[in-house]
A and B are shown apart, each in its own frame.
Chain A
Amino acid sequence: MRKGLSRRNLFKFMAVGGTTAVAAGCEQKPEKIIPALVPPVEFEYMPNTGYQYMTTCRECDSGACGMMITAREYRAQKAEGNPNHPLNQGALCALGQASLQTLYNPERHAQPRSGSEVISWEDAQSEFVSLLQQSAGQIVYLGRPTVGSEGAFVDNWLNEVGGGKRIAFSLISRAAEQRACEIAFGRSDLPDYAFENAKLLVNFGADFIETWGHPVQNGRRFADMHAYSDGKKNRCIHIGPHQSLSGARADEWLPANSGTEAMIALAMAHVIHQRDPRYDFLDDYLSPYSPELVASDTGISVDKIKSLAEEFHQNSSLAIAGGAWNNSEQATATQVAVFTLNAVANNLGKTLRFYESEQASEDTSHSQILQLLSDLNAGKIKLLIVDDSNPIHTLPKSLGFDQAMKKAKVVAISAGKNETNQRADLVIPALTAYESWGDANPRPGIFSIQQPVMAPVNVFDARAREDVLIAVAKQINPQAFTEINNYRDYIYELWAQVHQNRYFGPFENFWIETLENGGIFEAPRWSNAVDLQNKVDSVAFQTPLLGGSGLALIPAPSIFHLDGRGANKPWLQETPHPISQIVWDSWVEIHPDTAKKLGIADRSVVELSNSQGSLQATVYLSYTIHRDAVAIPIGQGHTASGIVADGFGVNVLDLIPAKTDAHTGNLALISTKVDVIPTTIKSYTVNLDGNPRQLGRDIAAATTVAALTSEKEDHGGHHRPKEIVEFYPDRSETAGYYKPYRWGMVIDLDRCNGCSACVVACYAENNIPVVGKERAAVGREMSWLRMERYLEGYQDETETRFAPIMCQQCSNAGCEPVCPVYATYHNPEGLNAMIYNRCVGTRYCSNNCIYKARRYNWFDYEFPAPLDQQLNSGITTRAVGVMEKCNFCVHRLTEAKYAARDLGRDVQDGEAVTACQQTCANKAITFGNLADPNSKVSQLAKRKPDVLADPDKENRDRQYEIFPEMNYKPAVTYLRKVNHQEVAGLYGNEHGSAH
């Protein structure tokens, strides 16, 4: 372009900007309007208009979810899933939503740094060059596992600069699973777990909703399999010492002793094998694992194992294992056992499938790390390049990475600050995935492109890591990368090959199409040739011995912080963990019975100690953990990752000893016991739930399959009055109301996994400020949408329920009539309009809201630069003293209406989408026009007339509203969670009254 300006540099164009929400009469400083120097090409730019760009999410290691970024004024403002992408199909997880805060994180590196000294890019590059030249051949490149062409590129680059080794490092590695595939099936790739084909899912501790595999895809497939439909509901059994989110969604939890999941799998296989011997070579292998023999070790009764095995055999079933909780010293053996179980139950090719083409995934085994450590200590490595990884925080302290690191020069290439690059000799600020090129090929048939969706954030002087590498390589070796100038060229050429192999037509067209769609997506083809190999009997399972005394320690990967990289994102810190509802902290999950025995009170601080050291954290009592175990989430306890992360919580990995899995060399996370010692320290841990129980108030209601399908009368429906005598006619009789729209929502609690992606999406969409721990402690968090977690029942029968609660947009709202200035009123489309600029701030509406869905701006909240660039410029950012709440993303509705009007029609079903609905992988949220009887939301919200007429039959319908006896007439209809059996607490039928 002219004058050397790329079009993406033009985000100076801010026709509307600044903050000028000043009361009338105050003298305003004249605002400046700075026009662009060069007009952007017309169809590419329109002020105040969101443009969508497809790219790939790079937040988690498994990841290659497609992302669709909405950019306004050339600033990315919202991340959504790419609807074309087969993995996530338009949805994103909480981490993906929060990727915007990777981009705009104020703690990103702004300049290259040598030691603690800020240097120029020229100096940084020349220093990098000299380091590389000094240590040719003794270079190690430690990076994240790659799913695209980046790995090959780096390998190539290492060759060009003098030779070295690349190590892919991920704490939550699937290496054991991969190794087990090799042993059991002779495949070098990972299988596809077809949840949706199974009628029974037995989960041996995989946290498939949180971190294992592709959580977004898992969540969707699990919901498809598990959700109630047409009078049927499939079952999910969770086996393991810790429930967590995945276990909470299961229908039954078998609290097996830590590390013994494989024994149950083998015992089940034993039972099935005896009945239906499919593989002869298993006779010896399975014989030591009869249910009778394993019962005492696992803590699961013989009958239970037998009946489970029976069920597993009879139905189309799937057993899965993996994730952090299977990462014991027997990780590979556990996986082999589970694969064996699937094989004997004849699940191969049905629910456990392999792709036709064998695409080996990268070796993420920790043996490489251990090798690296010994090499470092031996002085064999001169230069360590750490790319976007944080081994100091992520690896157990016992491995001594920080000491080993001192033996070599360290170059850190990273966008954000962390503990490792704080200690690096040279820090190269890298661009985030939003600003740079890349691609991903997570499974055969998916080629996902990662393109820059905006110019680099203007306050950071960062460059794309690959571009830096190319530039450096060219300085060292003039023959290197002669074909290309930057990584975009590399990707471009690479995709030309993809094009050659598959498509006709000119490449340019293909390239543009790829960028528009976000990649190439082909349907998977399955292999039929996979069968269990007799090598499995080479893997002998031994009961893992946990060192030390006390309770087994379970480091639980957090759905928000993953291995720690999410901790510096304000949204993820402020969103309460779905299980514990704790924000900005770590906690120790202990069974109440155990706590009683040890004399530990809830919310007290305990000290955990083993041979590795000790740490202190607050106790969270929960029935969702084995009596002999404690769980601590991974990811907190940072010291140099920025103000949002530092000083919050503890790093549980410090307690993990350096034990490994025999087959892969993977770190064993389940490998130690800890002593739990009460202390007298005052706890300052903040949980956002005022009460963990709903006291029979049916906020998150449930019913059973039997109740829904039988004709039996049920007298559980005492909430809704038998007869509602209306004092006034319905609002729909008011002239002009609900014509043509009456926005409404249906939330299916049977599909909701509690993953809280919707909560983060709401933060991102609606400019909701993050308030910090101190203010969250007094209830001033601003989240418009909250994932409420309620517990039902006791002991092992405890059921966890989730209910996303936002403003219910009531017809007979309590908030409206009490506002003295009409700042909130019922608008003709059925929304509780909240008009910020009219609000005086009496807070009466909040008091009178029975759902407490309103949030108040107690202060003028700050969006520290450059987080302010993320603010959605299509809506008002609220000032102090103003009430706010969910408005069903009214700006999105307005945009949909404008778009429809341009086409000369009304908005059709599915055109207006709220942010929470958009990002929900499980499709638990349906939004639309209730005034249209044919819309999906109307269909879902419709109740059976006979049930509506007779409240005694209430449990026979899944639709319900919260607090129907208040007659607020909410526009949000919930669908009951469907259980297989009724779960009743001691006070299950009480309503929270005293007696």
Chain B
Amino acid sequence: MRSYLISLRPPTQAIVTGVLIFLLSPMNSFAIFPISNEPKEQPIAFSHKLHVGQNGIACQYCHLYARRSHSSGIPPVSTCVGCHGPHGQELVQADHPEVDKMRDLWAQEKSIPWIKLHDIPDFVRFPHKQHINADASRFIDGAGNGCDLDADPRSLSCRVMLFRNGGDQRCQSCHGSVQEMEVAYVVDQNFGGMGWCMQCHLQVEGVIERKRAMSTMAGWNNAKENDAHRESQAYLVNKRNYHTPNMLDCYTCHY
């Protein structure tokens, strides 16, 4: 196949490759219109690398609603002022031009007009709270094993591993290694795509069983027995003895 493709002229090659990818690619692998992962210019050159990577500030020190609400929350300006101090009472980085921008805005009682990066469509409800507080032990056995962070940090296994590790690493499973970013950017090209979400959710125990196999062959053969058996595999009730949320119900995210 490869040699054949090479023998074609480049435009033809591109078309043929495109069509082949379109037809043959496994379902979970691509977004047709990927999200730009170019870093966007922000009003203030805030460095996550400096704050998180070097100074070790926890994610939820600033994004304080992540464990409590749908939205993780953008830190209020007073959080910045808390460490850096306002004009006249400068504390950390007393004369840094970028920090001064923040102090100017504070003096003018204005907020910082950050550019939104991680933007999921409005018809999706993503509760940060439910993910930050999720029980990581509900992953299937072996999910997240075999992660090689050096080779491919954004592979599925690595994302699951980061999620299992919890803490700030759980944030990284979707947002990437923010602690290494000078300017934050979206790491995954299909961030927020439905398949991208589903990749991880299919690693939760019982979900595959529920998605694929839990069909009823109603009226055809031994439907009841088969379904009862399948249901038992789907972990409808979790270890804390209440029903687990159904990650396959469209209404879980879209309403």
Q: Do A and B bind each other?
A: yes
| Chain A interface residues toward B at CB < 8 A | 2-3, 5, 12-13, 15-16, 18-22, 24-25, 28, 30-39, 42, 46-49, 727-729, 733-736, 739-740, 825, 827-829, 831, 833, 835-838, 874-877, 887, 890-891, 894, 897-898, 900-902, 904-906
Which of B33, B40, B234, B242 has a CB less than 8 Å from the CB of A735? B234
**B116 and A33 contact, CB distance less than 8 A:** yes
Which residue of chain B has the shortest Cβ distance to A18 in the bound complex? B122
**A728 and B218 contact, CB distance less than 8 A:** yes
**A37 and B123 contact, CB distance less than 8 A:** no
Q: How far is the CA of A221 from the CA of B245 in the complex (A)?
A: 40
Q: What is the CB-to-nearest-CB distance from B210 to chain A, in angstroms, rounded to a whole number?
A: 6
22 contacts between A and B (CB under 8 A): A2-B78, A15-B74, A24-B32, A30-B40, A30-B116, A31-B116, A32-B116, A33-B115, A35-B75, A37-B109, A37-B110, A38-B76, A46-B65, A46-B69, A47-B71, A739-B231, A739-B243, A833-B249, A833-B250, A836-B254, A877-B122, A901-B130
Q: What is the CB-to-nearest-CB distance from B156 to chain A, in angstroms, rounded to a whole number?
A: 21
**A37 and B69 contact, CB distance less than 8 A:** no
Q: What is the CB-to-nearest-CB distance from B141 to chain A, in angstroms, rounded to a whole number?
A: 21
Residues from chain B with Cβ under 8 Å of A46 in the complex = 65, 68-69
Residues from chain B with Cβ under 8 Å of A31 in the complex = 115-116, 119
Which of B4-12, B87-95, B168-176, B219-227 sits within the interface?
B219-227
Q: Given A37-B110, A831-B251, decide whether A904 and B242 contact each other with a Cβ distance below 8 A.
A: yes
| CB of B216 within 8 Å of the partner chain | yes
Q: How far is the CA of A833 from the CA of B73 in the complex (A)?
A: 29
| CB of B214 within 8 Å of the partner chain | yes
Q: What is the CB-to-nearest-CB distance from A895 to chain B, in angstroms, rounded to a whole number?
A: 10
Residues from chain A with Cβ under 8 Å of B125 in the complex = 874, 891, 894
Q: How far is the CA of A825 from the CA of B242 in the complex (A)?
A: 25
Q: What is the CB-to-nearest-CB distance from A16 to chain B, in angstroms, rounded to a whole number?
A: 6
Q: How far is the CA of A129 from the CA of B215 in the complex (A)?
A: 77
**A894 and B115 contact, CB distance less than 8 A:** no
| CB of B228 within 8 Å of the partner chain | yes
Known pairs A835-B251, A835-B254 / 8 extra A-B pairs, C-beta < 8 Å: A5-B109, A22-B121, A24-B193, A48-B70, A49-B68, A734-B214, A833-B251, A904-B242
Which residue of chain B has the shortest Cβ distance to A16 in the bound complex? B71
Residues from chain B with Cβ under 8 Å of A735 in the complex = 210, 214, 216, 227-228, 230-231, 234
**B113 and A736 contact, CB distance less than 8 A:** no
| CB of B127 within 8 Å of the partner chain | yes
**A876 and B255 contact, CB distance less than 8 A:** yes
Q: Given A5-B109, A48-B71, A825-B250, decide whether A734 and B123 contact each other with a Cβ distance below 8 A.
A: no
- Contact-size category for B: 35 or more
**B114 and A32 contact, CB distance less than 8 A:** yes
Residues from chain A with Cβ under 8 Å of B124 in the complex = 837
Residues from chain B with Cβ under 8 Å of A2 in the complex = 78
Which of A12, A21, A47, A740 has a CB less than 8 Å from the CB of B123? A21
Q: How far is the CA of A763 from the CA of B219 in the complex (A)?
A: 41
**B32 and A25 contact, CB distance less than 8 A:** yes
Q: Given A827-B249, A905-B242, decide whether A876 and B122 contact each other with a Cβ distance below 8 A.
A: yes
**A729 and B122 contact, CB distance less than 8 A:** no
**B249 and A47 contact, CB distance less than 8 A:** no
Q: How far is the CA of A890 from the CA of B251 in the complex (A)?
A: 8
**A729 and B216 contact, CB distance less than 8 A:** yes
**A875 and B77 contact, CB distance less than 8 A:** no
Residues from chain A with Cβ under 8 Å of B214 in the complex = 734-736
Residues from chain A with Cβ under 8 Å of B210 in the complex = 735-736
Which residue of chain A has the shortest Cβ distance to B68 in the bound complex? A46
Which of B79, B215, B216, B241 has a CB less than 8 Å from the CB of A39? B79
Q: Given A36-B77, A39-B79, A739-B243, decide whether A20 and B122 contact each other with a Cβ distance below 8 A.
A: yes
| CB of B147 within 8 Å of the partner chain | no
Task: Map CB proximity to A onto B114-140 as digits: 1 under 8 Å, 0 otherwise.
Answer: 111001011111010110010000000
| CB of B64 within 8 Å of the partner chain | yes
Q: How far is the CA of A825 from the CA of B249 in the complex (A)?
A: 10
Residues from chain A with Cβ under 8 Å of B72 in the complex = 15
Q: How far is the CA of A24 from the CA of B133 in the complex (A)?
A: 30
Which of A13, A49, A891, A905 has a CB less than 8 Å from the CB of B255? A891
Which residue of chain A has the shortest Cβ distance to B232 in the bound complex? A735
Q: What is the CB-to-nearest-CB distance from A50 to chain B, in angstroms, rounded to a whole number?
A: 11
**A35 and B130 contact, CB distance less than 8 A:** no
| Chain B interface residues toward A at CB < 8 A | 31-33, 40, 64-65, 68-79, 106, 109-116, 119, 121-125, 127, 129-130, 133, 193, 210, 214-216, 218-219, 223-224, 227-228, 230-231, 234, 236, 240-243, 245-246, 249-252, 254-255
Q: Given A729-B219, A736-B210, decide whether A35 and B121 contact each other with a Cβ distance below 8 A.
A: no
> Is the contact region of chain A dominated by helix, strand, or loop, or is it mixed?
loop
Residues from chain A with Cβ under 8 Å of B228 in the complex = 735
Q: How far is the CA of A33 from the CA of B113 in the complex (A)?
A: 6
Residues from chain B with Cβ under 8 Å of A905 in the complex = 242
**B109 and A21 contact, CB distance less than 8 A:** no
Q: Given A36-B76, A729-B218, A890-B255, decide whether A20 and B121 contact each other with a Cβ distance below 8 A.
A: yes
Q: What is the CB-to-nearest-CB distance from A740 to chain B, in angstroms, rounded to a whole number?
A: 5
**A736 and B236 contact, CB distance less than 8 A:** yes
Q: How far is the CA of A294 from the CA of B121 in the complex (A)?
A: 71
**A47 and B227 contact, CB distance less than 8 A:** no
**A34 and B216 contact, CB distance less than 8 A:** no
Q: How far is the CA of A276 from the CA of B190 in the complex (A)?
A: 86
Residues from chain B with Cβ under 8 Å of A891 in the complex = 125, 255
Q: How far is the CA of A39 from the CA of B240 in the complex (A)?
A: 35
Q: How far is the CA of A906 from the CA of B234 in the complex (A)?
A: 18
Which of A12, A21, A32, A838 has a CB less than 8 Å from the CB of B115? A32
Q: What is the CB-to-nearest-CB distance from A146 to chain B, in angstroms, rounded to a whole number?
A: 38
Q: How far is the CA of A2 from the CA of B76 in the complex (A)?
A: 14
Residues from chain A with Cβ under 8 Å of B223 in the complex = 729, 733
Q: Given A16-B71, A38-B77, decide whether A828 and B249 contact each other with a Cβ distance below 8 A.
A: yes
Q: What is the CB-to-nearest-CB distance from A49 to chain B, in angstroms, rounded to a whole number?
A: 5
Residues from chain B with Cβ under 8 Å of A728 in the complex = 218-219
Residues from chain A with Cβ under 8 Å of B115 in the complex = 30-33
Q: How far is the CA of A32 from the CA of B116 in the complex (A)?
A: 5
Residues from chain B with Cβ under 8 Å of A902 in the complex = 133
Q: How far is the CA of A733 from the CA of B121 in the complex (A)?
A: 35
**B245 and A901 contact, CB distance less than 8 A:** yes
Residues from chain B with Cβ under 8 Å of A875 in the complex = 255
Q: How far is the CA of A35 from the CA of B72 in the complex (A)?
A: 11
Residues from chain A with Cβ under 8 Å of B68 in the complex = 46, 49
Q: What is the CB-to-nearest-CB distance from A724 to chain B, in angstroms, rounded to a whole number?
A: 15
Which residue of B112, B123, B218, B219 has the most chain A CB atoms within 10 A of its CB atom? B123
Q: What is the CB-to-nearest-CB distance from A967 to chain B, in angstroms, rounded to a whole number?
A: 15
Residues from chain A with Cβ under 8 Å of B224 in the complex = 729, 733
Top 3 A-B pairs, shortest CB-CB distance: A25-B33, A48-B70, A735-B227
Residues from chain B with Cβ under 8 Å of A734 in the complex = 214-216, 218, 227
Q: How far is the CA of A906 from the CA of B230 in the complex (A)?
A: 22
Q: What is the CB-to-nearest-CB distance from A531 to chain B, in angstroms, rounded to a whole number?
A: 60
Residues from chain A with Cβ under 8 Å of B193 in the complex = 24
Q: What is the CB-to-nearest-CB distance from B239 to chain A, in angstroms, rounded to a whole number?
A: 11
Which of A19, A876, A900 has a CB less than 8 Å from the CB of B242? A900
**B255 and A20 contact, CB distance less than 8 A:** no
Which residue of chain A has the shortest Cβ distance to B244 in the bound complex? A901
Q: What is the CB-to-nearest-CB distance from B227 to chain A, in angstroms, rounded to a whole number?
A: 4
Residues from chain A with Cβ under 8 Å of B241 in the complex = 904
Which residue of chain A has the shortest Cβ distance to B107 in the bound complex? A3
Which of B70, B114, B216, B254 has a CB less than 8 Å from the CB of A876? B254
**A39 and B230 contact, CB distance less than 8 A:** no
Q: How far is the CA of A613 from the CA of B216 in the complex (A)?
A: 72
Q: What is the CB-to-nearest-CB distance from B250 to chain A, in angstroms, rounded to a whole number?
A: 5
**B227 and A20 contact, CB distance less than 8 A:** no
Q: What is the CB-to-nearest-CB distance from A33 to chain B, in angstroms, rounded to a whole number?
A: 5
**A733 and B218 contact, CB distance less than 8 A:** yes
Residues from chain B with Cβ under 8 Å of A32 in the complex = 113-116
Which of A24, A890, A906 has a CB less than 8 Å from the CB of B33? A24
Residues from chain A with Cβ under 8 Å of B227 in the complex = 733-735
Q: How far is the CA of A876 from the CA of B255 in the complex (A)?
A: 6
